[in-house]
Amino acid sequence: MTNAERVTQLMNELKTTRENERRVPLLIELLLEEGHDRHEDLVFELGLIGDPRAVPSISKAIKIHFSELVKWNNLHEFQRKCAYALARIGSNTSRDALEEIATSDQPFLRECGLEGLEHWPMPYQRR
């Protein structure tokens, strides 16, 4: 199976899966894949769900220059959403990840890490 076929399969599974418990592994896997333009949506949803299993993937994804995000000039917005997702998860592991990001050599990543730490832990508030 090619990467494009795998991404299509995961996207189709995600469309039909409603329970967060079953969505999280799909979201985590898709977050690190090229070949789609949903990275911002995926990390936003992972932040809303708040599952600590997502921390390693979000920590990795924030450092990847996904071609679609670069092409559409959305990389920085995505990186900021990753930091906020980590703040929203609110676990000790997510705080550690933000602290690591806050020491990045890349100024924008460092800024995102610090901003995420300012908001950690960020509780979900329903309106």
Per-residue pLDDT tens over the stretch 92-113: 999 999 999 999 999 999 999 9
- The predicted model scores a pTM of 0.92
- Dist. CA 14–CA 81, nearest whole Å: 20
In the structure encoding, which two tokens stand for residue 103, read together? 């020491």
Would you say residue 90 has pLDDT above 70?
Answer: yes
What's the whole-number mean pLDDT along residues 5-31? Answer: 93
> What pLDDT score was predicted for residue 94?
97
Per the CB < 8 A criterion, the answer to whether 47 and 85 are in contact is yes
Is the Cβ–Cβ distance between 8 and 26 less than 8 Å? no
- pLDDT, residue 29, reads 95
pLDDT of residue 122: 81
Residue 47 has a pLDDT of: 95
SS3 content of the chain, % helix, strand, coil (to 5): 70, 0, 30
Confidence (pLDDT) at 3: 86
Checking if the pLDDT of 125 tops 90, the result is no
What domains lie within the chain, and their CATH numbers? 3-119 (1.25.10.10)
